[in-house]
Amino acid sequence: MKNGKGFILLLSVTLTLGACNANDKPKDNVTPPAQASVTKGKILEPELLINQNEAAEILGEAVEKGEKRETKAVGQKICFYKPVNTSSKKYLQISLTQDSFMPPTGVGSETVYRETKKLIGTSKTDVKEFGNEAFIAIGGLHLFKDGYYILISSANIDKDATLKNAGKKTLENLAKVK
């Protein structure tokens, strides 16, 4: 996984944000950080955004059933699709951070998205076809939509096109399942 270090950096930042918020208590006369999007509702699974067949279509080859992981401290669920062909270097990973899966002390998915975007700084490319809250940078395609922070990672020959195809399918499916 070529973006493994970048993903680990982003995950570390995300976990740190969650841990810091859990230990911080608001002081008198100090306004706590805004949680602009507190969407408490149905918990979504990342494979609802891109299923196994869709991942195979996006990557152009058969993939195994998605490997799932989650980190409740930051409201994150991940589904990793690897190819059936073990010599292939392709993969597709969907990370979904959502307030409905976050503990009550969590910082919120929008805060995680905004802080990640701020940390990345200018080394990103905005993806206007997905609105104002989408960019490609280290880790992959970052999207914020309707209270969900979605990070799509991939290794492919034409990585940006793969990420955009995955982003389009993700947003179509998000509209159906939320």
The predicted model scores a pTM of 0.78
For range 29-34, the mean pLDDT: 38
**Torsion angle of the four alpha carbons 71, 74, 75, 81, in this order, in degrees rounded to the nearest 10:** -50
Percent of the chain whose pLDDT exceeds 70: 76
Please state the domain extents for the chain: 4-17+41-177
- As beta bridge partners, residue 154 has 92
Q: Which two tokens stand for residue 88?
A: 């292939």
Q: Is the pLDDT of residue 140 over 60?
A: yes
4-17+41-177: CATH, from 3.30.379, 3.90.660, 3.30.750, 3.40.1000: 3.40.1000
What pLDDT is attached to residue 63?
97
The Cα 91–Cα 87 span in angstroms is 12
pLDDT of residue 40: 61
Task: Kindly state the average pLDDT of the residues 2-9.
Answer: 42
